[in-house]
Structure 1
């Protein structure tokens, strides 16, 4: 029997599949499309999604296939009026190695994810449409359009805004569609040399707009977005190659035949909707199947990737009998508030952008804010966030990175390299944490990776005896990022969020908390109470 059937092979479904497969879960991915789409659609991962892709082991491939975000040139009446680089003042920091996202065609990102999945022995099955779901306490019987059926222990619908899985479950998709906010989109080819490919070009005129962003990895390909042509009654016309040429010529003041090809044409309307539930028994929803919103800020694909990153380890722990089934309840508990925030934020960014483009020099940079990087999205409200005093870092927050050195070899490394992989991580700051780390290893084996973090100036003999994986925090950046004193222990969840921070005297709480993530304890609000026994946490 398949452990997890994933319906939909976009970035959301493929991220989940990669995460499950590396954890030894028997996963199957099906998609109704007869072949893998070639659309560029979403423009790429944001900084938080890059951290997820690094953990999955493919961030280098994404960097090689993509490009950095481009400066934006705004035009009025065909004349350049402003150049803006929304990331000009950004730089990596010790706790956040990615200060900006990466431009990459969605089809190329999906190709990279499929290759990674194939390295785990899993191949996507195309041309396979799910038409029925019948579940009981033991699993789900999945029916397909060809008349066949097969069992799975769990099903995850990653099949987009028109999700068949969501409809089969009868889950309402509440919200609204703004029929007036319409945009036509497509992938186009433009004569080489006509436009600078180092610029995201944006023409905003009183009568409409055209935006052209070069697709990385191509010498002639561009993302095309525009206000639609309209008929005499004001109704938007369907996109076409000739229509794109007319829009191109009208706004750029360049000959329309420079736009030589237009494919994957679509009409986009602003939809702001969220499923009433993200789970029905053994079936889950993720990505656009669970929530859709305005494209301003580029959070659509990224929110789906992070849905999967939250759900994957929880499914794996339950399937392997290492956690109680109640752990799965925390997926909806944690991700639904993030989805609601995303709907509100993208709607506000759309409003700000529409206001900005009314003025010469305004453009899509109005949609870019620090929040759209995704680095401040955490789960402080979660029943998996152990209670305690406020600090520089709190349970539920994204776990920060920090440059360190291998305590045994002196080689430079980073906390993220310690976190990378399917395990739980326990950091111990100071010699007083040694027994806590030893007990964690003994109780949980390979499911937990323990790491001593030595302060600057730690005695050489102690450092040399630290054992493999110990880190030397020469510059104190790890301690600063985690607000750690001598004796602090930090539990990092498999999705690289802080689970618990225990100070001196709170180390028994570490072992009770680890039993929630990798044991028999029930992960509900009462199980988290008293975990730190008054000890300070970040």
Structure 2
């Protein structure tokens, strides 16, 4: 049996769901294929960074997700080293602590309401492409799509079907995860520390349960090795000075953390996004966020291609813009985890003194906060577009919820372009600015340069 769809997305995690919602909002027929039959209780991501909250705001979802979590405006790395997020130039100057499944729920509801179809218990067994489309085999069904996206995680069946390598290595092995009850609630929303031979991270689910990540240099075991509450208690006490009265666990497991990146995010009509394209250490909580930002970049470009309005080379810019970001996140999260793993007391002291001194320098502190939050990540020819107030009472990111280009222009400016939305900022100093659907600046200039800028941005 052969079914037809315009875009097939493999994987219904946060990345696949955001992409599905964007495509469906643009009127593109989209089918999401998910191997799992039901929602998994395994959620490794716990932090939603500021740039991701901006992307959720541009879809009308930020308030819903924020209501499920707790904000943290200073990110503690280890000992007394902290990154101050409170001065970020955004409406969301903090890290939101909320489990990944809260983000997934909001994105799935949004995608389905927009018209996306999600098929569960649908495991991809084969993928082939030709010049005109992609065939995806799921059980006894072949799904024919114009384009396909692999958002199916670190063990991506799409990436394997393409024959793309996934070079890298395991940076940490035998990380312990547990969902636990604590007799004593931690004083901080996010509790984390590293002492050379051990580190621990504690974050709330918001319902009385907590997630603990713990690592013990002195007891490295396979992912399949049994895990006990005493193992978790011991490492947590060593790293944090207390186990907070850890009493019971509803789930425990071990996993290993890799640093890997595919050499290409596109092969013909097939794309990779999220963990299928790149995986990082959990340090800094950037993994899920990077995947969601991949989807925000790819969605409008795929929609333009499907509708015949993509300028030549537009789809190639997905890889050219996002691959360097994936590489940057590998480096930054890798640097944090390697600093956390410094073993000797002298090394940790040097780390704390040098790191603490550096983070007191405004340029260094600004760069660190911008990188980890995503607010400071620009593309070479498309910087982030900051939100701004408009004369009609709305904000730029509210206008972006239509998924269209927005032209910020002074009062009285007229445009006959039917594929863009005209908006007037309250700040008279704002020049003529064309903003992409993913909240990046496509162009700034004077009216004479607008036609050429539009031709580069969208086929009219």
TM-score by length of 1: 0.75
Match of 1:218 among 186, 207, 213: 207
- 1:292: how far off? 1.4
- Contact 2:70–2:189, Cα closer than 8 Å, also in 1: no
Q: Relative contact order, CA 8 A, sep 6+: which one is greater? A: 2
Cα distance change, pair 321–133 in 1 and its aligned pair in 2 (3 A): same
Alignment partners' CA distance in 2, 1:121 and 1:224: 37
Match of 2:288 among 301, 321, 341: 301
Residue of structure 1 equivalent to 2:163: 170
1:159 aligns with 2:99: no
CA deviation digits over 1:93-149, x for unaligned, max 9? 4xx2111121110112111111111212334222111111111111111112x2321
- 1:257: how far off? 7.4
Gaps of 5+ in 1: 76-81, 386-395, 407-411, 454-470, 521-538
1:280 aligns with 2:267: yes
Alignment partners' CA distance in 2, 1:339 and 1:280: 17
**Which range moves more in the overlay, 64-73 or 325-334?**
64-73
Alignment partners' CA distance in 2, 1:67 and 1:29: 30
Match of 2:135 among 126, 130, 141: 141
Q: Report matched runs for 1:112-261 at 5 Å.
A: 112-144=106-138, 146-178=139-171, 181-192=172-183, 194-196=184-186, 198-202=188-192, 204-205=194-195, 207-215=197-205, 217-219=206-208, 221-228=209-216, 235=221, 238=225, 240-242=227-229, 243-248=231-236, 258-261=246-249
Match of 1:23 among 21, 26, 32: 26
Alignment partners' CA distance in 1, 2:243 and 2:149: 48
Cα distance change, pair 280–83 in 1 and its aligned pair in 2 (3 A): closer
CA deviation digits over 1:350-381, x for unaligned, max 9? 2333349954896999996331111121222x
- 1:27: how far off? 0.6
Residue of structure 1 equivalent to 2:436: 493
Alignment partners' CA distance in 2, 1:209 and 1:239: 19
Aligned residues: 442
* 2:95 alignment partner, SS class: coil
* 1:438 alignment partner, SS class: coil
Alignment partners' CA distance in 1, 2:302 and 2:352: 45
Residue of structure 2 equivalent to 1:529: none
Alignment partners' CA distance in 2, 1:509 and 1:369: 34
Residue of structure 1 equivalent to 2:388: 402
Match of 2:396 among 399, 415, 423: 415
* 2:160 alignment partner, SS class: helix
1:334 aligns with 2:321: yes
- Contact 2:11–2:151, Cα closer than 8 Å, also in 1: yes
Residue of structure 1 equivalent to 2:415: 438
Match of 2:12 among 9, 28, 35: 9
Cα distance change, pair 516–202 in 1 and its aligned pair in 2 (3 A): closer
1:111 aligns with 2:109: no
* 2:402 alignment partner, SS class: coil
Cα distance change, pair 132–263 in 1 and its aligned pair in 2 (3 A): same
Q: Report matched runs for 1:240-389 at 5 Å.
A: 240-242=227-229, 243-248=231-236, 258-263=246-251, 265-269=253-257, 271-324=258-311, 326-355=313-342, 358=345, 359=348, 369-380=369-380, 385=381
* 1:172 alignment partner, SS class: coil
- Contact 2:88–2:370, Cα closer than 8 Å, also in 1: no
Cα distance change, pair 338–86 in 1 and its aligned pair in 2 (3 A): closer
TM-score by length of 2: 0.86
- Contact 2:311–2:455, Cα closer than 8 Å, also in 1: no
- 1:250: how far off? 5.9
**Which range moves more in the overlay, 322-331 or 111-120?**
322-331
**Which range moves more in the overlay, 34-43 or 318-327?**
318-327
Alignment partners' CA distance in 2, 1:45 and 1:149: 36
Residue of structure 2 equivalent to 1:466: none
Alignment partners' CA distance in 2, 1:51 and 1:104: 16
CA deviation digits over 1:392-423, x for unaligned, max 9? xxxx10111223442xxxxx442322333211
Residue of structure 1 equivalent to 2:451: 511
Alignment partners' CA distance in 1, 2:384 and 2:6: 28
- Contact 1:15–1:309, Cα closer than 8 Å, also in 2: yes
Alignment partners' CA distance in 1, 2:226 and 2:371: 33
Cα distance change, pair 249–298 in 1 and its aligned pair in 2 (3 A): closer
- 1:336: how far off? 1.2
Alignment partners' CA distance in 2, 1:189 and 1:278: 38
* 1:124 alignment partner, SS class: strand
* 1:113 alignment partner, SS class: helix
- 1:246: how far off? 4.5
- 1:345: how far off? 2.0
* 2:383 alignment partner, SS class: coil
